[in-house]
Amino acid sequence: MDPVNQSSAPEWSNDMTAIEQIFGNRARNDIIRVLAAEEQMTYGDLRDRVGIRDSTLHRHLRALEEYGVIIADLPPGQRQGRGVRYSIHRSRVESLGQAWMRYLFGEGAE
């Protein structure tokens, strides 16, 4: 398949776009790995464990939350001045992993 046109291929689903954005990034993979080993973690704990700057961590957490692979205990509008706890949405990560395998092995869209 021509890489330039892969995103328009019928088997390139929204999940594949999420997979590309999530699993194609080392920092996002590190965040997922750290959260997978813990039940919940605060922003500060994640920053210390993953070892990336605040602005970078914030951007990655927002993206991971938008793609549904992490969950925050407070909605975005209620976070100002409050400690947010993040956790992994394991079934979503597993679902994306399965979609990735189906795509790679040519088993079609979900």
Q: What is the pTM of this model?
A: 0.80
What is the predicted pLDDT for the residue at 12?
Answer: 73
How far apart CA 13 and CA 9 sit, in angstroms, is 8
Q: Work out the mean pLDDT of the chain and round it to a whole number.
A: 85
Residue 97 confidence class, pLDDT cut points 50, 70, 90: very high
b or e along 37-55 (b: 16 or more beta carbons within 10 Å of the residue's beta carbon)?
Answer: eeeebebebbbebbebeee
Asked whether residue 48 carries a pLDDT value surpassing 70, the answer given is yes
How far apart CA 81 and CA 59 sit, in angstroms, is 18
What is the predicted pLDDT for the residue at 107?
Answer: 74
Please list, in sequence order, all residues whose beta carbon lies within 8 angstroms of the beta carbon of residue 36, skipping any fewer than 6 positions away. Answer: 88, 90, 93
